[in-house]
């Protein structure tokens, strides 16, 4: 690929496609690249806080944004970026296939990775009853008893989704209260198939060929017999490129950006969940806004 892009967007989530829409409208020759379409948005069972939609599934919202992007002439490429290098004229991206791409500027929308519990049995039973995505894997547990681990929006919405598939859903929360929006908590409290357990940490996942139970810190039940465990304990910033290219990050690993979403490296911008912008309020609305701000800055400055 000999052509030189004005902008390459790394990451195919909501921030990435939002940025691509603005880039196309500014007349920038744009490529959006990533291994998997949709990022974490496609895993959302229902989204109820994005303006214009009372409720919409994550996959439908992403498909709509993708369709809008492609109609504007943005090029997609499904490939893993292995290396990002600053050059005199811009940047060189090296792909897994060893192909290289040249671009004047880069927008990183690399998001977060799922946080793990790091307890015994978690790694060994992953894919054998332990999972990190209810919408991806929920139907494998139809009619079975399962648990969701976590207390935020993702955990509660996952439990609600699973209640339509599984015979019973336990939601296990390490702290003494849920952290989800009141809207979702009210829905959970009115659902007879979901049982909430507060002050319940996880000590071990038990089983050999498949998950059989989970050991907890709850004195009322040290062991809970379940067939599936969905871990929803938050995320941490994706650190791909941040160390190799030397971009500045904060103590938690979030990419530091200024008011235009520019990083510490000239020509390199970042938006979405991987940055310290918007008070780290990781929402679709803030991700889209940050990407738009970044592209506007790139399009109107040298």
What value, to the nearest 5°, has the Cα angle with vertex 176 and ends 180 and 113? 50
CB 211 within 8 Å of CB 227: yes
Distance CA 282, CA 70 (A): 25
The sign one gets for the Cα dihedral 125, 130, 132, 135 is positive
Joined together, the tokens standing for residue 144 give 């079975």
Task: Collect all residues with Cβ–Cβ distance below 8 Å to 90 and sequence separation of at least 6.
Answer: 4, 102, 103, 104, 105, 106, 267
Phi-psi label, residue 121: left if phi above 0, alpha if psi -120 to 50, beta otherwise: left
Give yes or no: 133 in active site.
Answer: yes
Phi-psi label, residue 10: left if phi above 0, alpha if psi -120 to 50, beta otherwise: beta
Distance CA 173, CA 193 (A): 17
Which position among 6, 137, 176, 266 bears the catalytic label? 137
Distance CA 290, CA 272 (A): 6
Which position among 6, 133, 186, 273 bears the catalytic label? 133
Which residues is 112 bridged to in the sheet? 237
Q: Which residue has the tokens 């039940």?
A: 221
List the one residue out of 84, 75, 93 whose CA is nearest residue 17: 75
Give yes or no: 166 in active site.
Answer: no
Which position among 6, 136, 220, 273 bears the catalytic label? 136
List the one residue out of 292, 269, 266, 219 whose CA is nearest residue 23: 292
89's enclosing H/E stretch is none
Point out the residues that are catalytic.
133, 136-137
């Amino acid at each position: 690929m000999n052509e030189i892009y004005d902008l390459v967007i790394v990451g195919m989530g909501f921030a990435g496609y939002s940025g691509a829409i603005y880039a196309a409208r500014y007349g920038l020759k744009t490529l959006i690249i990533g291994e998997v379409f949709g990022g974490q948005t496609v895993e959302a069972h229902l989204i109820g806080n994005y303006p214009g939609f009372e409720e919409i599934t994550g996959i439908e919202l992403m498909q709509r944004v993708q369709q809008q992007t492609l109609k504007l002439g943005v090029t997609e490429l499904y490939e893993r970026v292995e290396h990002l290098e600053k050059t005199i004229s811009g940047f060189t991206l090296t792909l897994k296939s060893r192909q290289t791409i040249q671009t004047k500027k880069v927008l990183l929308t690399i998001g977060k990775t799922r946080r793990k519990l790091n307890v015994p049995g978690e790694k060994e039973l992953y894919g054998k009853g332990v999972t990190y995505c209810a919408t991806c894997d929920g139907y494998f547990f139809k009619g079975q008893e399962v648990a969701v681990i976590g207390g935020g929006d993702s955990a509660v919405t996952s439990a609600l989704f699973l209640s339509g598939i599984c015979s019973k859903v336990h939601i296990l929360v390490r702290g003494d209260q849920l952290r989800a929006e009141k809207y979702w908590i009210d829905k959970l409290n009115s659902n007879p198939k979901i049982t909430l357990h507060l002050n319940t940490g996880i000590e071990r996942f038990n089983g050999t060929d498949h998950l059989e139970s989970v050991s907890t810190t709850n004195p009322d039940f040290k062991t809970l017999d379940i067939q599936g465990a969905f871990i929803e304990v938050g995320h941490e910033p994706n650190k791909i490129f941040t160390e190799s290219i030397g971009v500045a990050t904060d103590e938690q690993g979030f990419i530091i950006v200024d008011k235009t979403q520019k990083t510490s490296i000239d020509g390199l911008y970042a938006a979405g969940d991987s940055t310290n912008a918007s008070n780290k309020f990781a929402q679709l609305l803030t991700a889209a806004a940050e990407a738009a701000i970044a592209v506007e800055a790139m399009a109107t400055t040298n």
